[in-house]
Structure 1
Amino acid sequence: MFFRNVWCAAEMTNSCRQLLLQPGRGYPNVRVVFRNSIHNSRRGGRRTVLEPDPLSQIQIESGPLHARTLWKPLFFTIGVTTLSLTGCVIWEYENLRAHASSFLKKPGTWLSAQQRKFKTHLQKAEPGPVTKWWRSLRDSEKVFYPILAANVLVFGAWRVRSLQPYMIKYFCSNPSGSSRCLPMLLSTFSHYSAMHLAANMYVLYSFMPAAVASLGKEQFVAMYLSAGVISSFASFVYKVLLNQPGLSLGASGAIMSVLSYVCVQYPDTRLSIIFLPMYTFAAGTAIKVIMSVDLAGVVFGWKFFDHAAHLGGALFGMAWCHWGTTSIWGNRDKFLQYYHTLRKNDTGR
């Protein structure tokens, strides 16, 4: 299995924007400073006029970074992970049940059931173009496009000035803000920069086919959502330990889990950089280099990217490859028996 033209560089990152720390009452007041180049515009074709950055005027909520503030994020991480796994197990069960029911409602009359289904299909109107397109997609694409749509929708919301205070509060992971838990999940679907969004979605699209083929779409979604909050929590822990407040956003923590899972599951797969396709390298080597860079960023305190979130996501992906598929997802039979009994009692069949 080969993955060609995969961009294995800085796109697997959370946009951790530069922060301007101002003295406050016992702890710093944090204000986001975005690059002016994002907001440059050329008027009259003669000169560049710098427009005032609307985000630079928004004061970011801040508070003291104490270890006790990690309890709620920890419980939220455990809760989201549990709900993701439970929901996706039920999703898989319902998909299998719906698929099996079309063949096993009456085992002795399978052929006649198929004939009736074929006649009914002929009588129905021709499906629309959207339905045809959706049916033509692979399982990995049916998972990717909803994720892409959610990210694009949030990206569009960032462009609405009246929504920006709410975007910063709820779609940026901030351990010193008044709202800590919900942004841990929502920030994984949040991108302010178009380049950041495009790079992350490109990497996700490149590695999803292998991950979904190995895990199945239900288990993949469970791993992806869990990795998002776990990488956010890893960032929280790092910032609290070093007492460095800051905002993080982006899907790269979750994407790092997908990347590390594929690289560990298929270590001999050959990867290449998009601009240098003539140079290839093994996936097992690539993940070691990427994690080494993130580890160095954590140790030396590099602040351009959220290296702690990347490292947390990558470690979770590796752990899921070794233990998650067998020890967690593989032991879902007892829950499925309970859910099957509960569903049978509720529906009577």
Structure 2
Amino acid sequence: MLWSAFRQCSRRTFPHIHVPRRSFHYYSPRRTTATVPPPAPALPLQPETLAQKIGRPSVRNQSIFAILGTCVVFTYAATWTNIETDEWIEKLTHARAPSTWPHTITSADMRNAANFALVTELREGLKNVGIRTEGLGVQTRNVIMRVWATVAQTYLNVTEGKRICWKICLLNVGVWLAWKSKRLQPFMLRNFVHDPLSGRSSTMLTSMFSSRLVLLLALNVFFLDGFGSSSSFHLLKRQEQLPDGQLEASSRLHFLAFFISAGLFAALTSHIIRVKVLYPRLISRLSVASNQRPATSDTWASVLRSAPPTSRLRSFIRSTFASSLPQNPLIPRAGATGALYALMVLTALGFPNAEIALFYPPDYSVPVQWGVGSLLLLDILGIWRGWRFFDHFAHLGGAAFGAVYYVYGPRFWNWLRAGVADPRPEPGSS
């Protein structure tokens, strides 16, 4: 009874909907008579060469770093030289009558005033040492003050160029002491040695002050002390001899800019030659050798570490420790020999009649041009014979920089100082 009532209710509420039926037809795909071409046979994969695996080092970043570094260091030196010169002119002007400015003020007057100020500073330093050592014994205090007075007097008696050379030598000694620390060895190898395959550029600058061997350190100190002061004196005199030469209170920043720029140029020359000339030759020979032996790794360092000698010519002298020396031409380099060659060439051209004395034999001197020319010939011979102990390309690059700077350097320095100088007001103007 309930079911019949539900059916009647559902019929009235939900009407019946008729859905038509559609017939389903299947159509088979048509068969074509065209044939599909067979797939092309796969070409055999060509094995990668050794040069493709390890890539090719670049010289772009190193060139940009050297150029920008030279521009920055010269601009900084010229700016601060102008500032110091203006300060000394103002001091000497107040000490003299206004009518004498600036006609009677010379560069020598400013240097003499700077030396007098240095004397006062050293005397104050000696007085401070005496005050701080009052609690010590009489003998100990006398020894300390005597050593301080001796060092101060020696520092005062030398030229300004030799003072800056001594500071560079102290920096080299400090870096050499850092090499003796085993804890600092990884840091020094990463930051104070220029590796042409590392891709780093800052090591071109830091490697200038790095010497791992005490023999190389002694040579750098000896040549820097001898030729550095003469180069600084030459730059100072050339500045005074120019027709439009400006007053210059100090030449130490000019010399420092020249030294750093020469080192950067020498390092860049060595980097470019080793990467663009020696590297392709070494890779081509290693590619031929890799067909007979399995490759151990795909990195520059691992491949070149076991590289055979690339020089076809043999050295004149064979030593017992020659096998322990590095044989590939891309070994990391450190040292300021490139900048030192620039100093030697500048000295030889600036003072052609000068002579240099040697330690052995005693009391024997040779003309400076003969000595520098002999060293250059020795570097050329080292390149021809394939010697690896010294960086001969950096030596020749530094020598070329020194020769070019001898011709164009003083005028360039004068032009740069005039460009970065502030316009000076006329005397008597408010």
* TM-score above 0.5, yes or no: yes
Mapping of residues 1-349 of structure 1, within 5 Å: 26=50, 64-66=55-57, 69-105=58-94, 108=97, 126-129=123-126, 132-133=152-153, 134-178=155-199, 180-215=200-235, 216-240=251-275, 241-243=277-279, 244-326=329-411, 328-337=412-421, 340-341=422-423
Q: 1:124 and 1:283, CA in 2 relative to 1: closer, same or farther beyond 3 A?
A: closer
Cα deviation for residue 141 of structure 1 reads: 2.7
Q: Distance in 2 between matches of 1:330 and 1:250?
A: 30
Corresponding residue for 1:57?
A: none
Partner letter of residue 144 of structure 1? C
Asked if 1 retains the 8 angstrom alpha-carbon contact of 2:193 and 2:334, the reply is yes
User: Is contact 1:230-1:312 (8 Å) kept?
Assistant: yes
Q: Which amino acid aligns with 1:332?
A: L
Distance 1:208 1:182 in 2: 24
Unaligned runs of 5+ in 2: 1-48, 101-119, 127-147, 236-250, 280-328
Question: How far does residue 205 in structure 1 lie from its aligned partner after superposition?
Answer: 0.3
Residue 169 of structure 1: how far off its partner (Å):
1.2
How far has the Cα of 1:280 moved from its partner?
2.7
Give structure 1 regions of 4+ aligned residues with deviation exceeding 6 angstroms: none
Instruction: Give CA deviations for 1:27-71 in whole Å, capped at 9, x if unaligned.
Output: 7xxxxxxxxxxxxxxxxxxxxxxxxxxxxxxxxxxx6544xx101
Question: Which whole-Å CA distance do the structure 2 matches of 1:203 and 1:190 have between them?
Answer: 15
Cα shift readout 1:182-218 (whole Å, capped 9, x = no counterpart):
0000000001111211121011101122111111322
Deviations, residues 242-276 of structure 1 (Å, cap 9, x unaligned): 11421110111111110111011112212232212
User: In structure 2, what is the Cα distance between the partners aligned to 1:126 and 1:238?
Assistant: 52
2:79, 2:417 within 8 Å by CA — same for their partners in 1? no
| SS of alignment partner, residue 362 of structure 2 | strand
Task: Give the superposition deviation at 1:330.
Answer: 2.7
Greater Cα radius of gyration, structure 1 or 2: 2
Q: Which has the higher contact order (CA 8 A, sep 6+)?
A: 1
Is the contact made by 2:346 and 2:403 (CA closer than 8 Å) also made in structure 1? yes
Cα distance in 2, alignment partners of residues 124 and 255 from structure 1: 31
Secondary structure of the equivalent of 1:271? strand
Q: How far 1:125 moved relative to its partner?
A: 11
Give yes or no for contact 2:75–2:420 (8 Å, CA) kept in 1.
no
Q: Deviations over 1:134-175 (max 9, x none)?
A: 545420232012211211111111111121111111101111
How far does residue 177 in structure 1 lie from its aligned partner after superposition? 1.0
Equivalent position of 1:37 in the other structure:
none
Sequence identity of aligned pairs in percent? 24
One-letter amino acid matched to 1:209: S
The count of residues paired between Structure 1 and Structure 2 equals 268
More strand by share: 1
Tell me the amino acid that sits aligned with residue 230 of structure 1: F
Contact 2:78–2:417, Cα closer than 8 Å, also in 1? no
CA contact (8 A) 1:169 1:177 kept: no
- The two structures have a TM-score, normalised by structure 2, of 0.57
1:30 counterpart residue number: none
Q: Which runs of 5+ in 1 are unaligned?
A: 1-24, 28-62, 112-122
Alpha carbons 2:352, 2:368 under 8 Å: kept: yes
Secondary structure in structure 1 of the residue aligned to 2:59 = helix
> SS state of the match for residue 366, structure 2?
strand
Q: Decide whether aligned partners of structure 1 residues 214 and 125 sit closer, same or farther in structure 2, where only a CA change above 3 A counts.
A: closer
User: Is the Cα contact below 8 Å between 1:151 and 1:189 reproduced in 2?
Assistant: yes
Asked if 1 retains the 8 angstrom alpha-carbon contact of 2:82 and 2:417, the reply is: no
Q: 1:234, CA displacement in angstroms?
A: 1.1
Letter aligned with residue 301 of structure 1: G
